[in-house]
A and B are shown apart, each in its own frame.
Chain A
Amino acid sequence: MSDLTERVAEFLAAHDPTTTDRWEFLRARFDAGLARINWPVGLGGLGLDPGEQGAVDAAFVAAGAPDNRPALGVIGLGMAAPTILRHGDEDQKRRWMRPLWTGEEIWCQLFSEPGSGSDLASLSTRAVPDGDEWVVNGQKVWTSLAHLARWAILVTRTDPAVPKHQGLTYFVLDMTAPGVEVRPLRQLTGESEFNEVFLTDVRIPDSQRLGAVGEGWAVSQTTLMSERVSIGGGRIPRGGMLEPLIRTWRDRPELRTAGLHDQLLELWVEAESARLASTRLKQQIAAGRPGPEGSAAKLAYADLNQRITALELQVLAGDGLRYEDSAGHRYLRARANSIEGGTSEILRNIVAERVLGLPGEIRTDKDVPWKDLPR
């Protein structure tokens, strides 16, 4: 640890965050191996145990260092990076990892399709080989950040004649390539965070394939299992997501009722329980013993955030009716928490089957060639 602290201090001494250009600073941090200390040497890391990353991030935050736009980098950092590190070749890693981490290049995830959401493996977007290239046709949907993204991770069907899981191939797509069309979708909050993406005769060089042809399902599992762990050393305070509501509660006694008090205390107990459970999980991972608890975290978070934001509106009463108040937005946005990144129903299946060892769902599609499946 002291070694690492020293490295960070030396780095900050050599690169004054107040005078260094933002991107230059972040590139230098990556090259110094201080981006993600557990990533490989030469690729932003030092090959160390991830346990100390929090301290490193905190030191950078304290020094007023620029951040790498974590909100925009959520798919790149949380999903593309682990997949590239695991399945990419050296050239691919060198090309994509640095601008991904610095936030210079935003990523999106072209998985879901109008006909394939929970049942991702049923997707129909076709990729057909043509010399050193692939030609892709199809439509994706709910693609967050597609309107800002430079790159996309993409799953396609390359062999319709085999059962659905076997005929998939995984690519990295250049979002500026001809034939990529992004149309924003308006969501129930009124904003447009996600899009439809139409792919018409889009050409992808074979050098942008991740993993072998036909192995797309295995590669996409790495993506799906990678948790979206936010970067930055910021600690979740006691009470966690309840903090804004707690402030209102303390400041405005006139809003308090006995029933709301009960609900607030129950949610405080659950929020604090979730915080301790996620800390315990992180400690387990840091100790090199990752447990299955990770799959519990998203389920619990989604449920909790939905109930907390609903309670916040109740507490605010009349003020909650005014949409300019951010509580209304928080409530509406929270509806997505149990849909995006895998629905809570699918997560419950995963917990039941992979953690508790219960039988899988009855499958009628497993051995049927994809082209013969009802659609």
Chain B
Amino acid sequence: MSQQTVPVDPAIPDLLESDVERDLRATVRNLLDKRAAWPDVLARTESDELVDTALWAALCEIGCAGLAVPVEAGGAGASWAEAAVVAEELGRAVAPVPFLGHAMAVAALSHLGDTELLPALAAGERSGALAVPFATAPGQFPRSLDGTVLGIADAVTAEVLLVLDAAGSLRVLEATEVERTPVVSLDMTRPLTDLRVEPGAGRLLADGPAAAAAVEHALRIGAVLLAAEQIGVAGRVLEMTVEYLNTRRQFARLIGSYQGLKHRVADLWVALTQARAVARYAAVCAATDASDLPVAAALAQARCSPVAQHAAEECVQLHGGIGFTWEHPAHLYLKRAVSAGIALGGPDRHRAALADLLDLPGPTDPAPMR
């Protein structure tokens, strides 16, 4: 290997993890190992408080609430790349904390250059959420035409909510100013909320194109962080599956010695290797505000969503009966993976976005056989 020539493509930024990121990863993992082991996570899905607010507070203490925000503006002065590292670790643990929704609110406020609300959010003193339906793709601007917004992620415990109103303006509301209805979500570790807002309530943050651009940016950052989270999920389920194949015996053999199973996990690993590079590229583009960010974010979602979902599905299948039980953590990951694959647009919408961005148009009119 060391004898080989390996020209590195100078047009692609460094995709390797920095020492700082490695340290951050270790810190977060350590915290999650102690506070969000899977039995804790499972227990929480059956409790009245789906969000682990104490864990969220602990994450805020180490700066996770405003990693990409400069120190002067109240944040930790790192970047979205570090935020992606945290997202990946949270995905590995399917941790029930409102990191993603909060990060999207922070992204919108940062994009607007807000100085009033951002410092408190970035410092983790208050928690926020971007109140758009979680399935919204970047580039769509779903306005709340009648004052209701359905299926918002990470809004159950948010103290402030950013809502796009009927006029296309972005308004900020205190939690006390809205009516929240919890929804039983497919992914029990990321509760959804329906919201009712009185028209005109709250403070105007931005309107017109500025509001739209801020929301689009927030959704795009969300897509990047979600991709990192999907890598965390996929990596963990693959680990779990390999562990199981290495311990379970049938027909007097470890089942991991059967090629039919080996090849399936080998394929998962190859796909994960690619997805990891793509997620990392997107994170670096977000961190540097690169002009390629729209492509990178769409690419990341188009690749990481199916990989994470397939990995989680294989995890259930290759665990056999135990994989279909409530007591085994596989379902927590499956639910997270499948809902993340619908969140923020889903792969097909991201591919459609790529078609535009790359100038690869579809047929203009149906082409009938002649």
In the complex, the answer to whether B2 meets A358 with C-beta atoms within 8 Å is no
Given contacts A51-B6, A82-B3, A226-B3, contact A276 B363 (CB under 8 A): no
Q: How far is the CB of A306 from chain B (nearest CB, A)?
A: 15
In the complex, the answer to whether B367 meets A254 with C-beta atoms within 8 Å is yes
CA distance in complex: A286, B12 (Å): 14
Given contacts A38-B2, A57-B7, A226-B3, contact A265 B263 (CB under 8 A): no
Given contacts A258-B363, A276-B277, A277-B277, contact A229 B4 (CB under 8 A): yes
In the complex, the answer to whether B254 meets A359 with C-beta atoms within 8 Å is yes
Contact among B8, B278, B351 for A54, CB-based, below 8 A: B8
Contact among A250, A296, A356 for B242, CB-based, below 8 A: A356
Contact among B245, B270, B354, B364 for A269, CB-based, below 8 A: B354
In the complex, the answer to whether A246 meets B299 with C-beta atoms within 8 Å is no
Closest to A351 in B: B266
In the complex, the answer to whether B299 meets A269 with C-beta atoms within 8 Å is yes
Q: How far is the CB of A35 from chain B (nearest CB, A)?
A: 9
Given contacts A86-B3, A282-B9, contact A256 B363 (CB under 8 A): yes
Residues from chain A with a CB closer than 8 A to the CB of B20 are none
Closest to A272 in B: B299
In the complex, the answer to whether A227 meets B354 with C-beta atoms within 8 Å is no
Q: Does B10 sit at the interface, judged by CB under 8 A?
A: yes
In the complex, the answer to whether A53 meets B363 with C-beta atoms within 8 Å is no
Give A277-319 as 1s and 0s: 1 = Cβ < 8 Å from B's Cβ atoms. Answer: 1011011111101100110100110000000000000000000
In the complex, the answer to whether A276 meets B253 with C-beta atoms within 8 Å is no
In the complex, the answer to whether B7 meets A261 with C-beta atoms within 8 Å is no
Residues from chain B with a CB closer than 8 A to the CB of A284 are 16
Question: Which residues of B (343-370) have their CB < 8 Å from a CB of A?
Answer: 351-352, 354-355, 358-364, 366-367
Contact among A39, A268, A272, A293 for B273, CB-based, below 8 A: A293
Q: Does B54 sit at the interface, judged by CB under 8 A?
A: no
CA distance in complex: A357, B256 (Å): 9
What band does the interface of chain A fall in when counting residues whose beta carbon is under 8 Å from B?
Answer: 35 or more
CA distance in complex: A170, B303 (Å): 44
Q: Does A63 sit at the interface, judged by CB under 8 A?
A: no
Residues from chain A with a CB closer than 8 A to the CB of B299 are 269, 272-273
Residues from chain A with a CB closer than 8 A to the CB of B242 are 356-358
CA distance in complex: A257, B366 (Å): 7
Question: Which residues of A (185-202) have their CB < 8 Å from a CB of B?
Answer: none
What band does the interface of chain B fall in when counting residues whose beta carbon is under 8 Å from A?
Answer: 35 or more
Closest to B282 in A: A276
Q: Does B134 sit at the interface, judged by CB under 8 A?
A: no
In the complex, the answer to whether A279 meets B363 with C-beta atoms within 8 Å is no
Q: Does A361 sit at the interface, judged by CB under 8 A?
A: yes
Q: Does B43 sit at the interface, judged by CB under 8 A?
A: no
In the complex, the answer to whether B5 meets A231 with C-beta atoms within 8 Å is yes
In the complex, the answer to whether A229 meets B367 with C-beta atoms within 8 Å is no
Question: Which residues of B (242-285) have their CB < 8 Å from a CB of A?
Answer: 242, 245-246, 253-254, 256-257, 259, 262-263, 265-267, 269-270, 273-278, 280-281
Residues from chain B with a CB closer than 8 A to the CB of A296 are 269-270, 273-274
In the complex, the answer to whether A85 meets B3 with C-beta atoms within 8 Å is yes
Contact among A250, A261, A270 for B274, CB-based, below 8 A: A270
Residues from chain A with a CB closer than 8 A to the CB of B266 are 299, 347-349, 351-352, 355-356
Given contacts A233-B7, A256-B367, A282-B6, contact A299 B354 (CB under 8 A): no
CA distance in complex: A38, B8 (Å): 14
Q: Does A362 sit at the interface, judged by CB under 8 A?
A: yes
Q: Does A146 sit at the interface, judged by CB under 8 A?
A: no
Residues from chain B with a CB closer than 8 A to the CB of A300 are 270, 273-274
In the complex, the answer to whether B257 meets A261 with C-beta atoms within 8 Å is no
In the complex, the answer to whether A276 meets B274 with C-beta atoms within 8 Å is yes
Closest to B2 in A: A38
CA distance in complex: A280, B16 (Å): 7
Q: Does A225 sit at the interface, judged by CB under 8 A?
A: yes
In the complex, the answer to whether B273 meets A250 with C-beta atoms within 8 Å is no
Residues from chain B with a CB closer than 8 A to the CB of A345 are 259, 263
In the complex, the answer to whether B4 meets A82 with C-beta atoms within 8 Å is yes
In the complex, the answer to whether A249 meets B360 with C-beta atoms within 8 Å is yes
In the complex, the answer to whether B354 meets A273 with C-beta atoms within 8 Å is no
Question: Which residues of B (133-162) have their CB < 8 Å from a CB of A?
Answer: none
In the complex, the answer to whether B273 meets A282 with C-beta atoms within 8 Å is no
In the complex, the answer to whether A348 meets B263 with C-beta atoms within 8 Å is yes
Q: How far is the CB of A32 from chain B (nearest CB, A)?
A: 16
Residues from chain A with a CB closer than 8 A to the CB of B6 are 50-51, 53-54, 229, 282, 285-286
In the complex, the answer to whether B360 meets A264 with C-beta atoms within 8 Å is yes
Contact among A38, A81, A258, A361 for B257, CB-based, below 8 A: A361
CA distance in complex: A53, B7 (Å): 6
Q: Does A95 sit at the interface, judged by CB under 8 A?
A: no
Q: Does B105 sit at the interface, judged by CB under 8 A?
A: no
Given contacts A85-B3, A226-B3, A349-B259, contact A261 B363 (CB under 8 A): yes
In the complex, the answer to whether A348 meets B267 with C-beta atoms within 8 Å is yes
Q: How far is the CB of B13 from chain A (nearest CB, A)?
A: 9
Q: Does B26 sit at the interface, judged by CB under 8 A?
A: no
Closest to B278 in A: A273
Given contacts A226-B3, A276-B277, A348-B262, contact A253 B15 (CB under 8 A): no
Known: A54-B8, A232-B7. 5 other contacts (CB 8 A): A82-B4, A282-B8, A348-B263, A356-B266, A361-B257
Pairs A-B, 7 closest by C-beta atoms: A54-B7, A352-B262, A273-B274, A351-B266, A359-B257, A82-B3, A277-B277
Instruction: Provide 9 A-B residue pairs closer than 8 Å at the C-beta atoms, listed in order of the A residue.
Output: A53-B5, A253-B364, A269-B302, A273-B278, A277-B273, A300-B273, A348-B259, A358-B242, A359-B253
